[in-house]
């Protein structure tokens, strides 16, 4: 079914649910760190009522809502009980990575729209299962990439779409921190599942793949390591429980003859692995090294192109974001607006499936020590 036909179908279901003229009933699954940003953004929306919250840790959701001064909420010990017992218009899934797919599929089976925190999932197989459940559902999933709402990030896509760069053939991207390994549930296989690749790598990939229209990934030669995370010299007591990647790099072939050269690090012995550079047949774009997980570019971008035979550099000034609220508020608002219209999802899984396929391919290639084909099911 085409996205347009699917959209009309989902719209009809929304009308049936009669959400016009009343507040949207929202539930939050997982009340840890990032849920704090969700609740603060929901609280400033005039058309939202937080009616339910779930967390596996007894008492955590109750304390969370008390801390944020939200009353009248019903509490549940996991996503299942919440979804089984509530009539919800939408859910925010703020669980750690290994608990992204299961609650999302459970919500989709009950036709509840989902705002799912990034990364989409841990494995490609999970991402495929979510996409399948979404196709069988009247609801949609939007993946929580708030940088998508930044004017400078949007400008990258506008520049590519304008044609000023010509045909894109090579991209160098990535990012990282000299020291910046998180703790908490990010660093264990059982909860984080993947490390720097999933935490910040997915943002770098989204920044460039979204700009060039998310071409399909074909092959990847990937590498991951954990030299910093596992070393008490750099990671203190957390080294003993560290079981994910802290660095990833890859050479990826995309449909349309495009090469993507990518690297990402939670820790390394250099301040940055470099700027993002997009090479095209008519021009190139330099995006100064960016902590893109924080939502924007690292400085004014430069287009290198020839104007009437003269090698010219055009600097794009940093743009201010318009409208009310920060990027996180815009992410929440975009989800609520999509709930009201029955979709489409502001950040659709049809795109982010490719992002996840690359991350999964990097891990598989690294384990095998050779280039792998990226094979996945989009039906
Ligand atoms: N968008 C952003 O800027 C951003 C920033 C930080 C983290 N994140 C993402 O948010 C997610 C959560 O990160 P965090 O730091 O808040 O983690 P966290 O460990 O602080 O919180 C996760 C909570 O989910 C609960 N949980 C897990 N499975 C559950 C289930 N099935 N039902 C109910 N509760 C469940 C856990 O008990 C925990 O309290 C991660 O995927 C992370 O990548 C996004």
Q: Can you tell me the distance from the alpha carbon of 70 to that of 54, in angstroms, rounded to the nearest whole number?
A: 14
Res 311: pLDDT: 98
Length of the chain: 379
Strands 258-265 and 168-176 come out as parallel
* Atom number in ligand 1 closest to CA 36: 16
35, 39, 55: residue to mutate for ligand 1 pocket, most atoms within 8 A of CB:
55
Which pLDDT band, with edges at 50, 70 and 90, does 377 fall under?
A: confident
Residue pair 246/227 in contact (Cβ under 8 Å)? The answer is yes
80 lines ligand 1 (CB under 6 A): no
Q: Lay out the sheet containing 141-144: strands in order across.
A: 74-76, 48-54, 24-29, 90-93, 114-117, 141-144
Distance 187 CA to ligand 1 centre (A): 13
Closest CA to ligand 1's atom 6: 34
DSSP, res 182 = -
Res 38: pLDDT: 98
List beta partners, residue 117.
Answer: 144
How far apart, in Å, do the first and last CA atoms of the chain sit? 10
Which pLDDT band, with edges at 50, 70 and 90, does 230 fall under?
A: very high
199 lines ligand 1 (CB under 6 A): yes
Every domain of the chain and the residues it spans: 3-147+327-348, 149-323+358-373
Which tens digit of pLDDT belongs to each residue from 236-289?
Answer: 999 999 999 999 999 999 999 999 999 999 999 999 999 999 999 999 999 999
Distance 185 CA to ligand 1 centre (A): 8
78 lines ligand 1 (CB under 6 A): yes
Radius of gyration (Cα) for the chain, nearest Å?
21
Distance 33 CA to ligand 1 centre (A): 7
Helix (H, G, I), strand (E, B) or coil at 61: helix
94 lines ligand 1 (CB under 6 A): yes
Residue pair 304/290 in contact (Cβ under 8 Å)? The answer is no
The pTM (predicted TM-score) of the whole model is: 0.96
Distance 31 CA to ligand 1 centre (A): 7
Residue 170 burial class via C-beta count within 10 angstroms: exposed 0-12, middle 13-18, buried 19 and up: middle
What value does the mean pLDDT take over residues 294-316? 97
What value does the mean pLDDT take over residues 283-310? 96
Closest CA to ligand 1's atom 4: 34
* Atom number in ligand 1 closest to CA 198: 43
118 lines ligand 1 (CB under 6 A): yes
Q: Which of 158, 177, 167 is nearest to 259 (CA)?
A: 167
Q: How far, in Å, are 214, 247, 353, 363 from residue 374 at the CA level?
A: 15, 20, 12, 11
Residue pair 174/264 in contact (Cβ under 8 Å)? The answer is yes
The CB density around residue 312, as the number of other CB atoms within 10 Å, is 12
Which tens digit of pLDDT belongs to each residue from 119-167?
Answer: 999 999 999 999 999 999 999 999 999 999 999 999 999 999 999 999 9
Closest CA to ligand 1's atom 23: 30
Q: Can you tell me the distance from the alpha carbon of 317 to that of 180, in angstroms, rounded to the nearest whole number?
A: 29
Which tens digit of pLDDT belongs to each residue from 185-226?
Answer: 999 999 999 999 999 999 999 999 999 999 999 999 999 999
Closest CA to ligand 1's atom 39: 32
Distance 38 CA to ligand 1 centre (A): 11
Q: Can you tell me the distance from the alpha carbon of 78 to that of 29, in angstroms, rounded to the nearest whole number?
A: 8
The CB density around residue 197, as the number of other CB atoms within 10 Å, is 32
CATH 3.30.360.10 fits 149-323+358-373, yes or no: yes
Which run of H or of E encompasses 8? Answer: helix 3-17
Q: Does residue 10 carry a pLDDT above 90? A: no
Q: At what angle do helices 202-211 and 151-162 cross, to 10 degrees?
A: 40
Q: At what angle do helices 3-17 and 327-341 cross, to 10 degrees?
A: 80
Q: Which of 169, 194, 264, 218 is nearest to 372 (CA)?
A: 218
Which tens digit of pLDDT belongs to each residue from 337-372?
Answer: 999 999 999 999 999 999 999 999 999 999 999 999
Question: Do 3-147+327-348 and 149-323+358-373 have matching folds?
Answer: no
Determine the topology of domain 3-147+327-348 in CATH: Rossmann fold (3.40.50)
Tokens of 241: 């429980």
Tokens of 135: 């196709």
DSSP, res 98 = G
């Amino acid at each position: 079914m085409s996205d347009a036909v699917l959209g009309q179908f989902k719209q009809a279901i929304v009308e049936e649910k009669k959400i016009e003229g009343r507040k949207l009933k929202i539930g939050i699954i997982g009340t840890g760190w990032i849920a704090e940003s969700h609740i603060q953004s929901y609280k400033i929306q005039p058309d939202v009522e937080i009616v339910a919250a779930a967390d596996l840790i007894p008492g955590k959701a109750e304390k969370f809502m008390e801390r944020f001064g939200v009353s009248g909420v019903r509490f549940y010990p996991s996503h299942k009980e919440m979804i089984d017992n509530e009539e919800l218009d939408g859910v925010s899934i703020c669980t750690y990575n290994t608990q992204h797919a299961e609650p999302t599929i459970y919500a989709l089976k009950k036709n509840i729209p989902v705002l799912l925190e990034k990364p989409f999932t841990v494995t490609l197989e999970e991402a495929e299962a979510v996409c399948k459940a979404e196709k069988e559902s009247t609801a949609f999933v939007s993946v929580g990439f708030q940088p998508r709402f930044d004017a400078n990030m949007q400008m990258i896509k506008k520049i590519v779409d304008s044609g000023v760069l010509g045909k894109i053939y090579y991209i160098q991207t990535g990012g990282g921190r000299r020291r910046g390994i998180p703790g908490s549930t990010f660093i264990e296989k059982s909860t984080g599942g993947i490390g720097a690749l999933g935490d910040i790598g997915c943002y770098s990939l989204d920044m460039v793949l979204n700009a060039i229209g998310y071409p399909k990934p074909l092959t990847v030669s990937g590498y991951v390591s954990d030299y910093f995370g596992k070393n008490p010299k750099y990671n203190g007591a957390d080294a003993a429980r560290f079981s994910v990647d802290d660095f990833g790099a890859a050479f990826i072939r995309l449909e349309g003859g495009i090469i993507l050269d990518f690297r990402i690090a939670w820790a390394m012995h250099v301040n940055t692995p470099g700027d993002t550079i997009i090479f095209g047949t008519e021009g190139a774009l330099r995006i100064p090294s960016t902590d893109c997980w924080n939502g924007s570019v690292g400085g004014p971008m430069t287009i290198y192109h020839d104007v009437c035979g003269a090698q010219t550099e055009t600097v794009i000034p940093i743009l201010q974001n318009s409208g009310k609220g920060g990027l996180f508020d815009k992410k929440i608002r975009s989800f609520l607006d999509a709930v009201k219209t029955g979709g489409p999802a502001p950040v659709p899984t049809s795109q982010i499936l490719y992002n996840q396929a690359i991350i999964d391919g990097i891990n598989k290639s690294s384990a095998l020590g050779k280039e792998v084909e990226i094979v996945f099911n989009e039906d």
